Structure 1
Amino acid sequence: MHNGVYISAQNHAKSVLQLAKHSFINRKCQNLSNSNSPCDFWHLAKNISNNFISSSFPPLFHPDGTTAISFVSKAELSSQTFAKNSTLDDSGLVPPSPPPSDYFMSSIKIFS
């Protein structure tokens, strides 16, 4: 019963967010099409480009003070930091192995 209520609430929230997003975009397009100033266009272009060039993920630093640059080093440093700060007592246990599967993936062929 609770699962159905959760899914219904989740779907409602998604539809409200989608409606708000479309309303916002339509309003921006309407404002831009009614404007005679190139400043409005460049303001919008700057806001859009900032979404792609700025990261919401802060820089990560290795213990020696150097900055993690590659995705791999960021992922490794994040996992090390998480493991170090974790309060979970695993008592040295190893995670369980996945069950065996009879499914085999066919060969992948790449054509250029």
Structure 2
Amino acid sequence: MRYLMTTNAGSSTPDEKLFAEMGRFIEELTASGVLLATGGLGPATIRVSSSGDEITVTDGPFAEAKEAVAGFALVEVRSQEEAVELARRFRRIVGDGESRIQEVFTS
């Protein structure tokens, strides 16, 4: 099962210890084949919306900084519970904040 895990921007600035711990976590997940992709997201966003035949493109940002998605990980695990455990481990490393987990449907 694949899951997209996203995290909101935290209020604190990451330090070298956090980067080192996160590096080890990413290496572990990559070596085990669980981590398919990961990355940080820039603050600039573009919204593309449609209504009938009209397409509107609007430059952002749109949400408060603390609500903006700051990063993602695409993982392949055996169960939702395993995805939740990975998110718990991630939150223990990065501290206060919020992460979301969504199943990715594949054909």
User: TM bucket by the smaller chain?
Assistant: under 0.3
| Higher helix proportion (structure 1 or 2) | 1
TM-score, normalised via structure 1 length: 0.23
Q: Structure with the greater relative contact order (CA < 8 A, sep ≥ 6): 1 or 2?
A: 2
